[in-house]
């Protein structure tokens, strides 16, 4: 009889399953950087202010995908891109087709691009990218399915010859099935591969997977289109939550939903009057609190039956997302946070009866807390005692490599000094064949310069470093050039000329913060200089080596001690697009 009663209670969801099954979260074990969560405005007209406010404000979407119309009917998407940028959101544009006259059928959205129009197509994309003010551009939508079709070899050849001249970082190939058999030859090509900044694709007919070749080449991997039918169906929402969670667990850096047209009553996330559907709230459980520049950290992914957990370092604070897809029975889930600083977390939940609802605070004791996860729910736990992210929109911060203690970055606005950036960093060093450090950066294509006054570097070690860097990728072993200030070894210029290669340095002893440093890229030549006043400069070193045109430019700090944090402050920072000109 007791067994029968228990079975009935479980069936109606009145008892908890898997009580206190432990989920370990390792805040110092970095996985991929998160670039954001978003949606497409393709064929959705000009989005209303109410819809934009709900998407970018309430739900926290941080990426927009616009359609580059083949007939140059761009006004709606230009307006959508401008509204997104005004909200601090990044925008990428995808061309489904070039002008019809350039295809083998003489029609847009059909046939193949004729080779004699390859250069024209590149010029047209460049014009579109400028008109829409795109942050990335994609030359093809599902080229392996139809629309304007490309074979992998055709797209590889075009990207290799014309990709660098578009004037924006490139996202490719947006395969319909995210087929690596289609995309890998492009990445492996010595001309085309360096021109692809982001490896993107769609998951139609194919589930989330690790795209190892792209990761090995230092590319960020984005899922750029998918949907499930059912705007307010909790069963559909559980599929969405699981799909995003699986994608994050497979090292993806971005997840982009399909369109938000009011005409599609199965897929739309937000109505024009700002009404948010349940599927929108489900994506918001990730988008609202996992901000661009966050880093996914290692967590026990399946700690209990039907429960998936991913965890993130968001500017030094923990964010945990737990998806319980069980249709009956809640789960009492214990979470143990290792190498973190959380003392309290606030919970937010979407379920059949809740929509990103605040469910209260969870105290952390000895790194541990326990929460009840109802059946068919997505719950996000957000650390409340950490430093809130406050970087300007153009900057992103994260730890690179295997750091012993998670770092943080803060920004204090100051007109006189272009703001003050403070980095706290552990890490063994920026040196040898791989690095472990804190990095605050922006992306840039082509020639550039970054200047900063290193106001202070905490003396954790004589070799602690604070300086400026240009880096090919965010991989721990990426090629890079760096010039910085140390507490005991003076000013140092160093570089790694290839992925996984050794490092070479030159230093001038006897100098310490505050001191100015400057790093200039001209083609593939990187030159480091230093100055006591920011006016009179002395060149310390120069190196020439091949680096992808799109690179990461920013401020870097390492403690040269992986068990301690080192604070480094920077002011008078000048970089591409920074400081933002006053209105």
Q: Which residue's structure tokens are 């551009």?
A: 137
**7 within a domain of the structure (yes/no):** no
Clarify whether residues 430 and 312 are in a common domain: no
The whole-number pLDDT of residue 10 equals 34
Structural domain boundaries enclosing 323: 13-28+297-383
Contacts of 300 (CB under 8 A, 6+ apart): 22, 23, 24, 25, 309
> 230, 261, 289: which is the final residue of a domain?
289
- Are residues 361 and 428 located together in one domain of the fold? no
Dihedral of CA atoms 166, 168, 173, 178 in degrees, nearest 10, equals -170
Query: Are 219 and 310 in a shared domain?
Result: no
Q: State the CATH number of the domain containing residue 541.
A: 2.60.120.200
Give the CATH number, domain containing residue 132: 3.20.20.80
438 and 483 share one domain: yes
Encoding tokens for residue 515? 């001191």
Active site residue 174: no
User: Of 480, 460, 476, which Cα lies nearest the Cα of 555?
Assistant: 480
Please report, to the nearest 10 degrees, the dihedral formed by the alpha carbons of residues 321, 326, 332, 333 taken in order.
Answer: -40
What gap in Å lies between CA 215 and CA 231, rounded to an integer? 33
Query: How far, in Å, CA of 447 to CA of 575, rounded?
Result: 11
Active site residue 142: yes
- Structural domain total, the chain: 3
User: Of the residues 351, 383, 415, which one is the last residue of a structural domain?
Assistant: 383
Clarify whether residues 328 and 427 are in a common domain: no
Is 494 a member of any domain? Answer: yes
- Same domain, yes or no: 193 and 102: yes
Buried-exposed string 546-572: b where 16+ CB fall within 10 A, e elsewhere: ebbbbbbbbbbbbbbbbebbbbbbbbb
Residues 256 and 341 in one domain: no
Burial environment of residue 502 by CB neighbours within 10 A (0 to 12, 13 to 18, 19 or more)? exposed
Comparing CA positions, the residue from 434, 439, 430, 432 lying closest to residue 461 is 430
242/343 same-domain check: no
Rounded to 5 degrees, what angle do the CA atoms 121, 125, 130 make? 150
Instruction: Locate the DSSP E strands across 356-412.
Output: 357-363, 368-373, 377-383, 396-400, 408-412
Residue 583 maps to a domain: no
Looking at the domain assignment, is residue 248 inside a domain? yes
Task: Answer yes or no: do 466 and 566 share one domain.
Answer: yes
Same domain, 478 and 510: yes
Q: Look at residue 1 and tell me if it is in a domain.
A: no
d(CA 90, CA 414): 25
Give the SS3 label for residue 75: helix
The C-alpha angle 40, 46, 52, rounded to 5 degrees, equals 65
Is the omega angle on the peptide bond into residue 514 within 30 degrees of 0, that is, cis? yes
Residue the block writes with tokens 């109802």: 374
The model carries a pTM of 0.71
Is residue 2 included in any domain, yes or no?
A: no
Looking at residue 489, its pLDDT comes to 97
Point out the domain boundary residue: 220, 255, 289: 289
**Residues 502 and 531 reside in one and the same domain:** yes
Angstrom CA distances, 370 to 238, 257, 305, 338, 540, stand at 22, 32, 16, 15, 54
The rounded average pLDDT for each run of 10 residues, N- to C-terminus, in the chain (583 residues) is 35 40 93 95 96 90 97 98 85 97 94 97 98 96 94 98 95 98 98 97 94 96 98 98 98 98 97 97 96 92 97 91 96 96 94 95 96 98 73 84 85 67 93 96 91 93 97 94 97 97 97 96 97 94 94 96 90 84 42
Q: Are residues 417 and 565 in the same domain?
A: yes
Give the CA count within 13 Å in the CB-facing half-sphere of 513.
23
pLDDT at 315: 78
In a domain, 218, yes or no: yes
**Distance of alpha carbon 69 from the chain centroid:** 26
CB-facing half-sphere around the CA of 490: CA atoms within 13 A: 14
Rounded to whole angstroms, how far apart are CA atoms 186 and 159? Answer: 8
DSSP letter assigned to residue 58: I
CB 98 within 8 A of CB 117: yes
Counting beta carbons within 10 angstroms of the beta carbon of residue 536, is it exposed (0 to 12), middle (13 to 18) or buried (19 or more)? exposed
Alpha helices (H) in 22-73, listed in sequence order:
49-52
Catalytic residue among 142, 174, 442, 472: 142
From the list 70, 77, 174, 225, the catalytic residue is: 225
**Tokens found for residue 196:** 């692809």
Give the separation between CA 550 and CA 347, rounded to whole angstroms: 38
- Report if residue 6 sits inside a domain: no
């Amino acid at each position: 009889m007791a067994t029968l009663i228990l079975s009935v209670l479980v069936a109606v969801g009145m008892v908890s399953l898997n009580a206190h099954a432990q989920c370990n979260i390792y805040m110092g074990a970095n996985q991929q950087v998160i670039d954001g969560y978003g949606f497409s405005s393709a064929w959705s007209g000009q989005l209303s202010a109410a819809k934009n406010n709900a998407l970018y404000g309430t739900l926290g979407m941080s990426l927009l995908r616009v359609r580059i119309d083949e007939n140059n009917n761009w006004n709606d998407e230009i307006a959508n891109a401008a509204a997104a940028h005004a909200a601090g959101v990044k925008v990428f544009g995808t061309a489904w087709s070039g002008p019809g006259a350039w295809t083998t059928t003489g029609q847009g959205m059909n046939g193949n691009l004729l080779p004699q129009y390859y250069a024209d197509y590149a010029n047209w994309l460049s014009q579109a990218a400028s008109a829409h003010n795109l942050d990335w551009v994609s030359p093809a939508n599902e080229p392996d399915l139809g629309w304007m079709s490309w074979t992998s070899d055709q797209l590889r050849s075009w990207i290799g010859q014309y990709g660098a001249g578009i004037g924006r970082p490139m996202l490719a190939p947006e395969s319909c099935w995210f087929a690596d058999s289609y995309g890998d030859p492009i990445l492996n090509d010595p001309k085309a591969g360096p021109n692809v900044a982001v490896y993107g694709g769609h998951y139609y007919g194919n589930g989330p997977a690790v795209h190892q070749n792209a990761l090995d080449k230092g590319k960020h991997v984005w899922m750029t289109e998918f949907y499930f039918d059912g705007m307010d169906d909790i069963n559909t929402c559980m599929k969405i939550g699981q799909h995003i969670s699986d994608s994050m667990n497979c090292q993806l850096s971005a997840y982009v939903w399909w369109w938000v047209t009011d005409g599609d009553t199965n897929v739309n996330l937000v109505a024009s009057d700002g009404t948010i559907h349940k599927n929108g709230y489900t994506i918001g459980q990730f988008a609202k609190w996992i901000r661009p520049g966050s880093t996914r950290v290692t967590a026990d992914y399946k700690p209990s039956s039907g429960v998936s957990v991913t965890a993130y370092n968001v500017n030094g604070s923990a964010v945990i997302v737990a998806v319980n897809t069980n249709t009956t029975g809640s789960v009492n889930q214990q979470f143990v946070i290792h190498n973190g600083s959380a003392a309290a977390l606030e919970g937010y939940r979407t379920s059949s009866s809740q929509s990103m609802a605040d469910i209260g605070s969870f105290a952390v004791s000895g790194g541990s807390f326990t929460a009840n996860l109802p059946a068919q729910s997505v719950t996000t736990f957000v650390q409340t005692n950490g430093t809130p992210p406050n970087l300007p929109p153009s900057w992103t911060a994260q730890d690179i490599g295997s750091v012993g203690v998670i770092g943080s970055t803060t920004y204090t606005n100051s007109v006189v000094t272009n703001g003050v950036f403070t980095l706290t960093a552990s890490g063994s060093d920026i040196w040898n064949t791989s690095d472990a450090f804190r990095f605050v950066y922006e992306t840039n294509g082509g020639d550039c310069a970054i200047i900063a006054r290193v106001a202070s570097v905490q003396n954790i070690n004589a070799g602690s470093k604070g300086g400026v860097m240009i880096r090919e990728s965010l991989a721990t072993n990426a090629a890079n050039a760096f010039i910085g200030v140390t507490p005991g070894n003076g000013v140092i210029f160093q570089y790694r000329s290839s992925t996984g290669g050794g490092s070479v340095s030159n230093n001038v002893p006897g100098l310490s913060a505050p001191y100015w440093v400057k790093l200039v890229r001209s083609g593939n030549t990187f030159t480091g200089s230093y100055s006591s006043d920011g006016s009179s400069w002395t060149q310390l070193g120069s190196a020439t080596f091949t680096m992808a045109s799109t690179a990461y430019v920013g401020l870097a700090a390492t403690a040269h001690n992986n068990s301690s944090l080192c604070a480094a402050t920077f002011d008078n920072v000048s970089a591409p697009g920074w400081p933002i000109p006053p209105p």
